[in-house]
Chain A
Amino acid sequence: AQSVAQPEDQVNVAEGNPLTVKCTYSVSGNPYLFWYVQYPNRGLQFLLKYITGDNLVKGSYGFEAEFNKSQTSFHLKKPSALVSDSALYFCAVRDTQAGTALIFGKGTTLSVSS
């Protein structure tokens, strides 16, 4: 069965410091991997996705993520955090052998302090 794990409920970083939000996944086939961000009372906003090719994916707002097949990970990163990055982040996977639905992790709250 497909699943996504976000091991940290919350990540705290100081503004200007690099940030990492962790994600690991489990699928039967090849994965399509996604990161979404959710602000309070808002829908999910797409950040980036990995389908194939270069393992380092660059997305919106300066975020990037690295696909690591051997570790089944897809950690979200940003070199320099902003206070406005504070939000709830979701990692999601689509198993290409198991349909079109995205399976989401439980989410990680990112808090960036000034």
Chain B
Amino acid sequence: DVKVTQSSRYLVKRTGEKVFLECVQDMDHENMFWYRQDPGLGLRLIYFSYDVKMKEKGDIPEGYSVSREKKERFSLILESASTNQTSMYLCASSSPSRDRGGYEQYFGPGTRLTVT
């Protein structure tokens, strides 16, 4: 059974703190993604990575950074958390081949982050 896991389901942090969200997948997928989900806004892509040490900005990268040191692990970093980063964060992975199901993204359970 394919699996994407995230380090925490719920997290409460203070403004200005550095926050690390971790995501691990066991499907040997090359592509990994970080989204945030807010009511009425759907899923918005923050960053994605198509290989180890590679990263690309998504639609809303400001205030975030990422790290991909190993194929199975993709970390999202909030350098200095702010209240407007309170959200649900979802990690996903997919295979690199469009013709072999690369359009199917597998999501983790999400981390609900509250910044106070």
Do A and B associate with each other? no
B contact set with A: CB distance below 8 Å: none
